[in-house]
Amino acid sequence: MASMLASGDSLAVDESQRRWLRRRVLTWFDEQGRSFPWRVTDDPYAVLIAELLLQRTRADLVPTVFERFIRRYPDARALAEADPAEVVDALRPLGLLHRSARLPNLGRMLLDRFGGSVPSGESDLRSLPGVGRYVANAVLVVAFGRRRPLLDPNVIRLLGRAFGVASARTRAREDARMWGTLAELLPRRRSREFALGLIDLGAVVCVARRPRCLACPLRQRCIAFREGLVTPADPNGR
């Protein structure tokens, strides 16, 4: 397998390896990718709310709360006029109450600065409360179809196990080289599906404990699987 060596702002990845990874991930995603309500909407506001709710929260806990929240606060104006205590109460099942409390402020900022619309530029998105690089990119990818990397803990774990891509920084999500590597892996076509496919693979197959290696489309070239660095679940997922 081609090695990945430090190079500028990314980790060099052999082009044949990139093509192999893209094919594998896209095929798997087409067959087994997860379906969420915020992935099938064309409303940037709904996508932004979903990504904020997903912060430090398991994705499977979010759909019911998200759909109820969007019905109650369907746009920036409704959110801006909301009682902060009621917003906190609506999102209480997800925890992180400080995150919930700032959402009405997000609605007001969208109204005051962007006429109630969610902006389509990264710098404008990152000027919103609670929106960092990942959330901004996720909105651009899911809502606007942009070609952007999505580096989350699932993807970091997957890249580390499969290809030995690791960050020397304590917070890998803040490592520019990790973001650069992932950006280089994105295909020209179907980059949205590829980005979401990496996330889903890490979330449901390459899990933190007892990964489902025998169900993984990357095991053929996975360093951790080949060298016995992980303890896989049995074929039944136990």
> Which of the following is catalytic: 45, 73, 134, 193?
134
Q: Which of 168, 169, 167 is nearest to 181 (CA)?
A: 167
152 an active-site residue?
yes
112 an active-site residue?
no
41 contacts: CB under 8 Å, gap ≥ 6: 47
> Which of the following is catalytic: 45, 51, 73, 175?
51
> Which of the following is catalytic: 45, 73, 152, 175?
152
The CA-atom distances, in angstroms, between 147 and each of 137, 188, 194 are 9, 8, 10
Q: Which of 164, 154, 192, 198 is nearest to 24 (CA)?
A: 198
73 an active-site residue?
no
Q: Which residues are known catalytic residues? A: 51, 134, 152
